[in-house]
């Protein structure tokens, strides 16, 4: 075996390569894991380590990002989430009462099968779940250009009548992929909806997450999370569905408005904090005209690039 150069560090093991690849894959920006995977595989130059990492990382990534996949029978889209997970490759779509079999690494749905009675909620629970799913479909269609939602029964799916406690989990996923314009983004929200029938109250807990990646002549990522709570009274299935959907609509719209407000105020807040008060050029940054300021153009001019 040839001696290693003195400047080289110790050779990393296959297990270390696997862990590095796994970290890079699971932390890929929304919608970009396939691009990252191609580069990781090329740099790693170890197919065994890469494939071992991909087998672990892709399922984690797909579930964390609420990946939406078209079912081959064109009956709709299935969301890959832990709430509908039957086993590592099978995921329930409550709306069509089907189970989708997926290939995590290729990110495709290979086939579907009918869900069994044990995998579906009872008829009483379905009376509440189906109207809520219908109302949320209207909301998602109106709000997100490429959005999908699902309503899972995650507690009490065998409840036979009034007076008991049962729980739905709402998953909403939307993506906007525009790599040709060097930007991608995603919206993910998860709502725990608990019906306390004995107290005649419905409690909601929401976790909203926005991810964005802009990479034209740079690499900027946004990962913002917000949590909220609310409640309403238990009503008829249809009225409960309308009330819950309106609450979700209100909180998500409010959160989006707050994000837009933050973006509007970035020049006067975050950007100022990122830059030293007096740069090495001894010239103050023109904060009063940041809306017309082209960072790329001015940096190029300062460094004499493109002359």
User: What predicted TM-score, i.e. pTM, was given to this entire model?
Assistant: 0.82
By the 10 Å C-beta count (0-12 exposed, 13-18 middle, 19+ buried), 269 is classed as exposed
85, 149, 136, 137: which is closest to 115 by C-alpha? Answer: 85
Q: 208-242: per-residue pLDDT in tens?
A: 999 888 887 778 888 889 999 999 999 999 999 99
- Can 68-120 and 123-276 be said to share one CATH topology? no
Residue 1: the pLDDT is 41
Q: Is the pLDDT of residue 40 over 50?
A: yes
Q: Is the pLDDT of residue 49 over 80?
A: yes
- How crowded is residue 236: how many other Cβ atoms within 10 Å of its Cβ? 11
Residue 164: the pLDDT is 85
pLDDT category of residue 2 using cuts at 50, 70 and 90: very low
Residue 163: the pLDDT is 78
**How far is C-alpha 133 from the geometric centre of its chain's CA atoms?**
19
| Average pLDDT value for the chain | 87
30, 175 Cβ separation under 8 angstroms: yes
Q: 135-193: per-residue pLDDT in tens?
A: 999 999 999 988 999 999 999 999 888 878 999 999 999 998 888 888 888 999 999 99
Q: How far is CA 221 from CA 28, 37, 170, 185, 275, in A?
A: 11, 19, 26, 9, 18
Domain positions in the chain are: 14-64, 68-120, 123-276
- Range 243-257 average pLDDT: 96
235, 289, 224: which is closest to 262 by C-alpha? Answer: 224
- How crowded is residue 12: how many other Cβ atoms within 10 Å of its Cβ? 12
147, 126, 125, 123: which is closest to 136 by C-alpha? Answer: 147
Q: 20-29: per-residue pLDDT in tens?
A: 999 999 999 9
Q: How far is CA 178 from CA 124, 145, 214, in A?
A: 43, 13, 10
Residue 134: the pLDDT is 97
Assigned CATH topology for domain 123-276: 3.90.1150
Q: 279-289: per-residue pLDDT in tens?
A: 666 666 565 55
132, 87 Cβ separation under 8 angstroms: no
Residue 74: the pLDDT is 86
78, 93 Cβ separation under 8 angstroms: yes
Residue 162: the pLDDT is 83
Assigned CATH topology for domain 68-120: Ribosomal protein S3 C-terminal domain (3.30.1140)
Residue 62: the pLDDT is 97
- How crowded is residue 143: how many other Cβ atoms within 10 Å of its Cβ? 15
Residue 238: the pLDDT is 96
Q: Using the 8-state DSSP alphabet, how is residue 307 labeled?
A: -
């Amino acid at each position: 075996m040839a001696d290693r150069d003195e400047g080289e560090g110790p050779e990393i093991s296959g297990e270390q390569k696997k862990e590095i690849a796994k970290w890079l894959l699971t932390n890929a920006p929304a919608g970009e894991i396939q691009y990252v995977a191609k580069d990781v595989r090329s740099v790693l130059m170890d197919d065994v380590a890469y494939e071992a990492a991909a087998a672990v990382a892709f399922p984690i990534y797909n579930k964390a990002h609420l990946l939406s996949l078209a079912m081959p029978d064109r009956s709709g889209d299935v969301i890959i989430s832990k709430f509908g997970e039957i086993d590592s490759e099978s995921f329930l779509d409550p709306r069509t009462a089907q189970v989708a079999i997926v290939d995590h690494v290729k990110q495709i749905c290979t086939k579907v099968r009918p869900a069994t009675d044990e995998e579906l909620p009872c008829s009483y629970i379905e009376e509440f779940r189906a109207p809520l799913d219908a109302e949320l479909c209207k909301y998602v269609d109106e709000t997100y250009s490429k959005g999908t939602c699902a309503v899972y029964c995650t507690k009490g799916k065998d409840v036979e009548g009034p007076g008991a406690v049962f729980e739905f989990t709402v998953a909403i996923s939307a993506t906007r992929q525009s790599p040709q314009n060097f930007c991608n983004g995603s919206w993910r929200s998860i709502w725990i909806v608990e019906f306390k029938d004995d107290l005649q109250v419905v409690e909601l807990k929401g976790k909203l997450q926005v991810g964005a990646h802009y990479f034209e002549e740079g690499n900027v990522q946004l990962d913002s999370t917000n949590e909220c709570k609310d409640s309403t009274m238990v009503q008829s299935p249809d009225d409960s569905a309308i009330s819950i959907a309106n609450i979700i609509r209100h909180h998500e719209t409010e959160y989006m408005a707050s994000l837009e407000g933050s973006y509007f105020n970035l020049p006067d807040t975050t950007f100022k904090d990122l830059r030293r008060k007096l740069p090495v050029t001894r010239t103050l940054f023109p904060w009063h005209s940041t809306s017309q300021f082209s960072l790329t153009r001015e940096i190029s001019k300062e460094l004499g690039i493109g002359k």
